[in-house]
Structure 1
Amino acid sequence: MTENKIKFRNQNIVIEDRDRMTVTGVEQVESFNDNTIVLTTVKGGMTIKGEGLNISKLNLDDGSVKIEGKINGVNYMTKEGAPKNIMGKIFK
């Protein structure tokens, strides 16, 4: 039996003027509201924080999400769930 699901390997993130964002390599939208969007991507989890956030386009067939609103920050999580940061790597 062949699986129709496309396996994405790359992830691209484009933020335009802090009010538009495009993310590829998205596997699932875990949750969203006006201030937080949580995604599962091929590289792990991603949390987007901001104000007036809205998912303007979602296409899980090609793994892309377009977000509008004021983007204040992006936080990445590894597949294991630990935050990626330089301090964690130094003290490992």
Structure 2
Amino acid sequence: MIDDTNNPLRFETNPYHNVVLKDRKIMELTGVKQIDSFDANEFLMETAQGWMVVQGKDLTLDKLDTERGDVVIRGLIESMSYVSNKKGGKDSMMSRIFK
């Protein structure tokens, strides 16, 4: 039995996380909990499997389904990496990522 009383409003309801990359131009993600920040060169997201950074050029948020945790990113995808699973302050994590 799952206890939902300790689960505040979350960005995703699906515990699974999948990534589909099509021709380095379209990235489809499931299991996204939140998008911390994004711009034309980088997306920082928390997924069901940890923090993820997607880097590229001309990146745009094409689809956002907050109920299911689905995200679609368009642009030239140059890299994707999982950064940290730690629950720490945003500033400390950001400083580790951009050193």
**TM-score scaled by length of structure 1:** 0.79
Question: Identity of paired residues, percent?
Answer: 31
Q: Counterpart of 2:64? A: 58
Q: Counterpart of 2:50? A: 44
- Which contiguous aligned blocks of 4+ residues in structure 1 show a shift greater than 3 angstroms? 1-7
- Count of aligned residue pairs for this structure pair: 81
1:22 equivalent in alignment to 2:28: yes
Q: Counterpart of 2:37? A: 31
Which ranges of structure 1 fall in alignment gaps of 5 or more residues? Answer: 82-92
Tell me the SS of whatever aligns to 1:65: strand
CA deviations over 1:13-60 (Å, ceiling 9, x no partner): 000000000000001010000000011111110000000000001011
Contact preservation (8 Å) 1:35, 1:51: yes
Which ranges of structure 2 fall in alignment gaps of 5 or more residues? Answer: 88-99
